[in-house]
Amino acid sequence: MSKKKNIKDKDKKELKTKPRINQRLIYLIFGIAVVAAFLISQFLPWPAEKKPANKAIRNQDRSSVFDFRKEGEVKFLDVDGELKVEIDVEIADDPGEITLGLMYRDDLDSRQGMLFIFEDEQPRSFWMRNTILPLDMIFADSSGKIVTIHEHTVPYSKESYISTIPAQYVVEVNAGFVNSHNINIGDKIEWRRDNREQKN
């Protein structure tokens, strides 16, 4: 009787000690994991640190993509046909180029601009979404006669700048251009596309 009792007592002790051993093992593994995580955090950069670098790269790429490309010239003439000023232009004549316009540009020389060419005369409406530079917008009809002028448009504005008369051409230049060169409604524009930029 006493032998059986001793065996039972021994089994009970083993059952009591096993959970304690398992519990200690769990604590040990957890402690090692915490130490390992700490060491990794000291030697590896956090993912968040990569964001500014990626953003800088995107801005750099964007700047290079939107460098000015001379594709033609525009002359501004008074009512008597006398030349007031001539500028180099990029030409936007398809839906994608017209929609993009001068968005994201942070630099434009005083004798540079963009000429928008549409298929026909219609009331035209432009805005300044994603446009960094203040601009002068010059609207002309199919004959090249200037019919509407908007000066010093506001960067990033959602305001619509509308032609008061149907227009087929729009020239965007730096703000102050119209005043500097005395461009008026009734003046005319003449434009030419560079031969190397001629589209089929």
CATH number at residue 129: 2.60.120.1140
Question: How many angstroms from the chain centroid is the CA of residue 7?
Answer: 81
Query: How far, in Å, are 51, 80, 115, 175, 181 from residue 92 at the CA level?
Result: 34, 28, 6, 19, 23
More confident: 56 or 34: 34
For residues 151 and 189, membership in a common domain is answered with yes
Among residues 27, 45, 62, the one where a domain terminates is 62
pLDDT band at residue 39, thresholds of 50, 70 and 90? low
For residues 103 and 193, membership in a common domain is answered with yes
The pLDDT of residue 19: 53
Output the six-digit token pair for 125. 């409406």
For residues 37 and 73, membership in a common domain is answered with no
> CA-CA distance, 170 to 191, in Å (whole number)?
11
Q: Is the pTM of this model over 0.95?
A: no
What is the greatest pairwise CA distance in the chain?
131
For residues 95 and 136, membership in a common domain is answered with yes
The pLDDT of residue 158: 94
For residues 58 and 74, membership in a common domain is answered with no
Mean predicted confidence (pLDDT) in 109-121: 98
Mean pLDDT of the chain: 81
C-alpha closest to that of 189 among 120, 117, 131, 98: 117
C-alpha closest to that of 109 among 150, 60, 69, 169: 69
* Domain span including residue 106: 69-197
For residues 26 and 76, membership in a common domain is answered with no
pLDDT at 20 over 90: no
> Which residue in this structure is represented by tokens 């002309």?
140
For residues 73 and 49, membership in a common domain is answered with no
More confident: 168 or 56: 168
Beta bridge partners of 174: 135
Order of strands, sheet of 146-150, starting from the edge strand that comes earlier in the sequence: 146-150, 135-140, 167-174, 112-122, 83-92, 72-77, 188-193
